[in-house]
Amino acid sequence: EWIVQVEPKFHEDADKLKILVPFEECIHIKSSNAKVVKVPEYILLTHSGNNFNVLVDPTSLSEGVHYFEVYGIDCKAPLRGPLFR
């Protein structure tokens, strides 16, 4: 089990009261293989960031090297693609 920390990056000229403080985004967390890599369905990302647990269950895997991804999609604009991997 791992803890993943996600922190948004803002332009250095961003107005703290207008942009940073009210920033809240619903992020849909996905795994490239939900049977092996378990993640929460959603997190709320604020200006200070958020974290979530990733649980890997390798018991169903064959021997060898395996590759999986965890990524976050904006709930309101999924067509933007992953905001992080």
pLDDT digits (tens, 9 = 90+) for 19-70: 777 889 999 999 999 999 999 999 999 999 999 999 999 999 999 999 999 9
Name the residue among 82, 84, 68, 75 with its Cα closest to residue 31: 68
Q: Which of 37, 39, 21 is nearest to 29 (CA)?
A: 39
Domains and CATH numbers, the chain: 2-84 (2.60.40.3170)
Runs of H (alpha helix) within the chain: none
- Residue 44: its pLDDT value, please? 97
Q: Where is pLDDT greater, at 15 or 7?
A: 7
What is the residue type of 77? A
Classify residue 73 as left (phi > 0), alpha (psi -120 to 50) or beta. Answer: beta
